[in-house]
Amino acid sequence: MAKANYGVNVTINAEAARPIAIESLTPIGIAGYQEGLEKGLHFYINVSAAMDALKELGSGSIKNAVKGIYDQGVETPIIISVFEKTGDDSVVITNAQNAVENFKFAKSEFSYAPNIIIAPELSGEDAIKGALESTAEKLKATAIIDLKA
């Protein structure tokens, strides 16, 4: 314990870095595939609720994306649009486009519309990139797109 002047006692200690949780009201829309989750729109009030719901499910791009957001310490509403990843590539791309476009109906269904839209693992495809851009423009949202570089 260190002593300061004039009889005031202070304690000095060093603590290791710790995560800082950030609460946000900016809904994030995730379009992707997820084993064990019914296709269509799903809403979770925060990332922790989404993690709890996805914990027991199989693998998928949605679970990976939600875990990435959770690992960053962000608590925000999550809107998920699930599609089936079955068939050849053209069918998967069409399903993904439809999932992205389903975000247009989120406001009427959940009273929340996404302000950020992502389609992890697939947003580098030109057709999905176009769907992300047009949906984001309609919702006045931001689409995050992967580059093929």
Residue 49 confidence (pLDDT): 97
Cβ pair 23, 75 in contact under 8 A: yes
- For 57, residues 6+ apart whose C-beta sits below 8 A from its C-beta are 34, 35, 36, 37, 63
What confidence category does residue 138 fall into, taking pLDDT thresholds of 50, 70 and 90?
very high
Per-residue pLDDT, averaged over 85-104, amounts to 94
Q: Answer positive or negative: Cα dihedral of 91, 93, 99, 102.
A: negative
Closest CA to 121 of 62, 59, 37, 53: 62
Q: Does position 33 have pLDDT exceeding 80, yes or no? A: yes
Three-state SS at 112: coil
The Cα angle at residue 34 between residues 92 and 96, in degrees rounded to 5:
30
The Cα–Cα gap between 34 and 81 comes to 10
pTM confidence score: 0.86
Q: Does position 95 have pLDDT exceeding 80, yes or no? A: yes
Q: Does position 87 have pLDDT exceeding 90, yes or no? A: no
Per-residue pLDDT, averaged over 72-94, amounts to 94
Residue 106 confidence (pLDDT): 97
Residue 128 confidence (pLDDT): 95
Enclosing H/E stretch for 97 = helix 89-101
Per-residue pLDDT, averaged over 21-39, amounts to 94
Instruction: Provide the 8-state DSSP code for 22.
Output: E
Residue 34 confidence (pLDDT): 95
Per-residue pLDDT, averaged over 122-148, amounts to 94
The Cα–Cα gap between 58 and 56 comes to 7
Q: Does position 16 have pLDDT exceeding 80, yes or no? A: no
DSSP string spanning 27-56?
-EEEEE-BTTS-SEEEEESSHHHHHHHHTT
